[in-house]
A and B are shown apart, each in its own frame.
Chain A
């Protein structure tokens, strides 16, 4: 849409100022009905028929004002949005606030797809929101295509409340961004005993770290779900997650070079193209960091120009992941 391309400074907090309004399809049908009623009233000299037609004409305009009011002075605020892995849905939490009366039936829609493989023509998903108190949270979900910062596209906020005769809309430019971690690739890593020094024990890399299945917990990434097992029992049993054991209680270092070796061994012995090489290494490291954090072992990460750990915990995890996500990207991002 033309206006989505118009450069407007985005802010983390926006008050709806400019509301566009046009009759909706129901409004046109309503107008045609009124016209038919008016002609009938004229033809049969129905005095009170005129009264009814004019009452409904008045209602038409009153509905227009109410539809406008349902958007006017609404404010939107971008809240936190937890980082996601590339390929997952980035969930932008937003807060809609009304300064006065409740605002039912708001429809929010992001004005573009983040993913390029969805054609522009297919309808964008709509979030229906009924703002009944002073404020309400809602989420815009977007597919995160690649690592780095994902910015929230402009939003289209529309409503047909109260009677559906008019559709009012406004576009909202909220500055919000979501950190997207590299899409993890799970390759086996070396056993604990072999890694204390940092140079890898080549002989053990072939060994599978997969150590069995357990019931899936909500915190498990979809990537860890044993989809093959699910397929075997026809999707009726509960979901199972893969367990990885990689020499449980030691410290691990994950480095740029280790990733290169793992790729050479498991994915492409003859090497990858340069740009693919970087991204794949980041993905491998992302998978290792994720698995290590999940397994609860201490790990360190060494990238060109970055080193952290060994340590563990959410803070360390997000530090390492941010480094992977933003590796060699301009920091400005958003």
Chain B
């Protein structure tokens, strides 16, 4: 082997091909963010990559400060202008992304590379702001491999091929896995946030705590998953799968809005049977949880129920969240008396709006004052009059409800719920709009109930003193022949019954989607299931009840020490592979010679054996083989004792020269 020597200071030199590695690293670290970043940032970043790439091919030169500094400031100003709230997640990601790309233009010393690589590692983490899915995790691991490999290139001998470098990096990461597992299991989990998270600006698909005409209809187009549920037993029938979200009480003539109610739960009387299930909410960055109507027990989150029956989390659901819940599909709430506060809120109507609706309600009121009778009358009105259910309702005028009830008569669930509640309130019956989701489909692969945004729904609740709060779904009374085909398709997708035989359906695309979503879900359950509660449960199983963080740290240190010792024993083990390879070749040669009738005693050195062969010239060994054996003996000896041993390939080639018969 010829040593490669460099007497220049190793600190300052910068291998040229590293630039290409670093472009790859930066690209991998930044690419997933293009999905959420504003277009102009993505364009700037891509242009920078291209610029650096072309520059690196022509011989890399760092950009001069005169160009670079204005660029950085322009980028900063642009981002500040784009995100009005500095220090929000999106703002930080945009800044990091921009810095990552601009840093590529000014690589001078090893220090710059270190900074770039550290930035790369950090950017990998930010992928999880957006998504926790299986794909992101694959991407993350691949990118971590790339970043590690570039660190390796920086310190390895310059001639290593790319595959060898990646292989070494992969080996290092694989060896890190046991320690990762130990830390993952025993590192004391702290529930965030440590500091206030600035409100996110990115609008997420999903319910908004506000309802205006057409809002939920837009959601109906989205196949995005809102949450998943897994029932302990058989799932309840679809007619009971009302997932309860924000309760909207205030109406200003245009929008329905949620109001804050005291954090005291309503009086709920649960009736058997109850349903137990786990809920995995996707991050919606809002406070509400989406339990099955009506939740009676929950764990896995710090939450409370407000007086109007909203299960509200203390912290916004900013990442995927898993909860264990129990609900009573049949229940009675607030029987007998309604607090004045609640009564007032649920009878409120904006003055001066919808005169025709109010007149109709007054007219009904004259015939009956019983809430249930009035509700039945309103439902019958929707059923008997030519009301249509459509995803594309026509625009409505100033008096939204009047226009809908007497003019267009085409609407989506929010139109029906709003009109129904307005009618009820006008007739003196406390009523409110409840938004949430209806139904869901069972993934036949893993039997999780998947609820998509398209299942978003709005319904109504009315209150009477005898029955308490009662759920009324005015949309449900529209006969099927008055439902538009698209709406029907969107609706039917959200039925568990239909999806149950999805696997036998011919569409491979559907089947593929089920499998992919099931794999994703398995990953989520596995990765997310590990909460502080589960950690405590694990410790309890290890025999440590009521473990605090000190106990966890002790276990962590102990387990990490054991793992590290095992790793050290593995990594630092004595290996004599190189020597053995040569010896193995010689043994093979000896076996071949033995088959030709040569005595090859173990005590004879290769050179002695070769010399004896040349002297004795055994009859069955061809002259060619004799010479080959002598040559091999010399090579093997050189490999053992010479300072500059011959390469293994040469020794192998010499072995091939000895005939095998």
Q: Using a CB–CB distance below 8 Å, which chain A residues touch chain B? A: 25-26, 29-30, 32-34, 36-37, 39-59, 61-63, 65-66, 68-69, 72-73, 77, 79, 95, 98-101, 104-105, 107, 123, 125-139, 141, 160-164
Contact = CB atoms under 8 A, between A and B. Distances in A.
B572 interface: yes
B643 A135 contact: yes
B525 to A, nearest CB: 11
Contacts of B5: 127-129, 138-139
A34 B147 CA distance: 14
Nearest to A56: B121
Given A44-B129, A65-B567, A130 B157 contact: yes
Given A44-B319, A47-B530, A100 B575 contact: yes
18 contacts: A29-B114, A33-B118, A36-B122, A44-B318, A45-B193, A47-B320, A48-B140, A50-B189, A52-B128, A55-B173, A61-B567, A66-B172, A99-B575, A100-B575, A137-B644, A162-B168, A163-B152, A163-B155
B18 to A, nearest CB: 12
B179 A65 contact: no
A55 B193 CA distance: 22
Contact of B194 (A43, A104, A127, A139): A43
B7 A127 contact: yes
Contacts of B152: 162-163
B282 to A, nearest CB: 13
A68 B195 CA distance: 39
B351 interface: no
A176 B475 CA distance: 96
Size bracket, chain B contacts: 35 or more
Contacts of B168: 162
B192 interface: yes
Contact of A79 (B181, B187, B318, B643): B643
Nearest to B577: A100
Nearest to B640: A134
A63 B172 contact: yes
Contacts of B192: 42-45
Contacts of B50: none
A95 B577 CA distance: 20
Contacts of A132: 1, 157, 159
A79 B3 CA distance: 15
A133 B183 contact: no
B128 A49 contact: yes
Given A55-B144, A99-B579, A100-B578, 13 more contacts: A41-B125, A45-B192, A46-B125, A48-B128, A48-B140, A58-B179, A61-B176, A62-B172, A100-B576, A123-B9, A128-B7, A130-B157, A163-B155
B643 A26 contact: no
A47 to B, nearest CB: 5
A22 to B, nearest CB: 16
Contact of A129 (B3, B172, B197): B3
Interchain residue pairs A-B with the least CB separation, the first 9: A58-B176, A58-B179, A130-B157, A133-B1, A54-B183, A100-B575, A136-B3, A59-B176, A104-B157
Contacts of B2: 136
B180 A55 contact: yes
Given A43-B195, A44-B192, A123-B9, A69 B572 contact: yes
